[in-house]
Amino acid sequence: MENEFIIKGNVNHIDFIRFANQLIREKKQAGRLGSVRAYKSSLKSIVLFAGNSWLPFHVLKKAFFKHYIEWLENRSVSRNTVHFYLRNIKAIYNRAQSTGLVSSDKNPFEGLSFSPQVTAKRSLSKSKLRKILELNLVFGTSMALTRDMFMFSFYACGMGYVDMAYLQYKNIQGNMIHYYRVKTKREIVIFIEPPMQALIEKYRRTDSSYVWPILLDSATSEENYVRYRSGLTAYNRNLARIGNMLNIEGLSSYVARHAWATAARNSLMPTAVISACLGHASERTTQIYLDSFNASLVRRINKKVIEL
């Protein structure tokens, strides 16, 4: 399909691309490296579509984005990736609008359907979790580290890989872990149960402030972000290998979170409390529960949840 929105020429005043690059530099200076990565990939896509690295704001209308979505779909881009690109582009556009760079107050995204595809939640039975736990792997290898981090994620109320990678000994206060989830910035407090403590001790080092051997104290924030991303890739690759070894389909970094959430639900833990433990930002009733539920109750339920 010929792209009727290809833009030719160039100007000196600020346009969407230049503004987006300024915003990316701001995010980088603020250490928001995840946003930097997301914005860069989305910007690369829309530049490729537009056929130019100059994109004036006045062409960013509903028809433009409808054509952009069609162009992505014709290139067999997945629905979730389309949603990812549009979400980031919309965030950049809204930021430009808030600074007065966009003269029109019309919303070019209104009425456009680019919602993500709901993926099936993958969980595991306790018998399969026991198989993963009991798998004979050599300590010090990448495979053993992956298995141990996966089990720690399950024990720690579904702690995500990024939060495990950035977890430091200073987050451990007595028999509890206090940390802020990287994705939502919500504070999470969990009790350290015996299998969690055993794994913490198993990987304890005196020359690092990090609990897991992923990040380095001597590295810059950008270098550690690269280490985290490469570590996540290796983590999922190794989980797939473990899944093949044990005949468990779809084993990935998300499965431990879903397995814990499912087990917690089956143990009759309230939905809002599960949401609080997982660090979700969208559970509006969570704050109401946080004012009243007893932390020891969560601990008693979690002890049942992680018992294999």
Q: What does the DSSP assignment read for 185-203?
A: --EEEEE--HHHHHHHHHT
Task: Give the model's pLDDT for residue 93.
Answer: 92
How far, in Å, CA of 233 to CA of 249, rounded? 18
Q: pLDDT (tens digit, 9 = 90+) per residue, 113-151?
A: 766 665 555 668 889 999 999 999 999 999 999 999 999
Instruction: Please tell me the distance from the alpha carbon of residue 271 to that of residue 294, in angstroms, as a whole number.
Output: 15
Q: Which ranges of the chain does DSSP label H, i.e. alpha helix?
A: 16-29, 33-50, 62-74, 79-98, 126-134, 142-155, 161-165, 194-202, 221-246, 255-266, 271-278, 286-290, 295-305
In order, the DSSP letters of 40-94 are HHHHHHHHHHHTSS---GGG-SHHHHHHHHHHHHHTT--HHHHHHHHHHHHHHHH
Per-residue pLDDT, 139: 95
63-76 confidence digits (pLDDT tens): 999 999 989 888 88
pLDDT given at position 85? 92
- Residue 78, CA distances (Å) to 3, 41, 69, 84, 112 in order: 20, 15, 11, 10, 16
pLDDT, residue 275, reads 72
State how far the Cα of 12 lies from the Cα of 23, in Å rounded to an integer.
Answer: 18
Q: How far is CA 4 from CA 1, 8, 52, 205, 210, in A?
A: 9, 11, 13, 59, 52
What pLDDT score does 41 carry? 93
Contacts of residue 167, defined as CB under 8 A and 6 or more positions apart, other chains included, come to: 159, 177, 179, 210, 211, 212
Cα(100)–Cα(97) distance, integer angstroms: 5
Length, in residues, of the chain? 308
The list of the chain residues with pLDDT below 50 reads: 1-2, 4-12, 283-293
CB 23 within 8 A of CB 95: yes
Q: Which pLDDT does position 293 carry in this prediction? A: 45
What pLDDT is attached to residue 194? Answer: 93
Alpha-carbon gap, residue 58 to 96, rounded angstroms = 12
